[in-house]
Structure 1
């Protein structure tokens, strides 16, 4: 069993990753870091290289911290929520960890579509982590 975390290089993504890594150390389990991109024309080679370098850095930091981990960059033409839920089911994850950004009062009426899909579709618990201001 493992913990699955959705990661994008934002303060919310880093907060989710940090929480998940600490939880893995407490539970003595492994971490699967997922960076999911829809792909297509808006995802160019430079952006892919930047993400790849970021994910290598993360893998190195997790190893140094003693967290058993696997980092996956998925570009499969599906929504990130679908990738996270699918990986969590395949790996029989204990929990999925996602980062949430703060929203305006109007934005609070509608949760982000990826976060909402993960909450509704996941067969395991989902932890939503907010970044500090």
Structure 2
């Protein structure tokens, strides 16, 4: 079993890192970090560099949590994350969420909403600090 962090190099992704590490510590399981590239688009703003992923792994290992990171090419981000949840037997999926305006609070991002509804495990959502 693992904790799986769906990571993007963004304020939301960065906010999710400490929460994912803490949950892996509490559950005494490894952390798996995945970054999904939509159709392999390396120029997309969700693509992590090797340095981004290495920094997440280093933070986890400094906290005593074994961690690995993967980039996945998938046409649909949600499908890629859900496949990783199954593959790595995740008991918890950790994702970052954007803060919303009053109008935006009526709608949740489609990726986050689909993950919350379709994930076969618990999902922890984390917002960045204001």
* TM-score calculated relative to the size of structure 2: 0.88
- The residue that corresponds to 2:63 in the other structure is 65
Q: Which runs of 5+ in 2 are unaligned?
A: none
Q: How many pairs were matched up?
A: 128
Secondary structure of 1:105's counterpart equals: coil
Following TM superposition, where does structure 1 have runs of at least 4 consecutive aligned residues deviating by more than 2 angstroms? Answer: none
With structure 1 as the length reference, what TM-score do the two structures score?
0.86
Q: Which runs of 5+ in 1 are unaligned?
A: none
Q: Distance in 1 between matches of 2:22 and 2:15?
A: 11
In 2: Cα distance, 1:68 partner to 1:103 partner: 33
In structure 2, the partner of 1:85 is 82
Q: Is the 8 A contact 1:15 1:131 kept in 2?
A: yes
More helix by share: 1
- Aligned to 1:94, what secondary structure does the other structure show? strand
C-alpha root-mean-square deviation of aligned residues, in Å? 1.8
In 1: Cα distance, 2:120 partner to 2:91 partner: 10
Whole-angstrom distance in 1 between the partners of 2:20 and 2:58: 16
Q: Which residue of 1 aligns with 2:42?
A: 43
The residue number in structure 2 matching 1:55 is 53
1:84-103 to structure 2, matched below 5 A, reads 84-103=81-100
Are residue 30 (structure 1) and residue 15 (structure 2) matched?
no
Find the aligned partners of 2:102 and 2:36 in 1 and give their Cα distance.
28
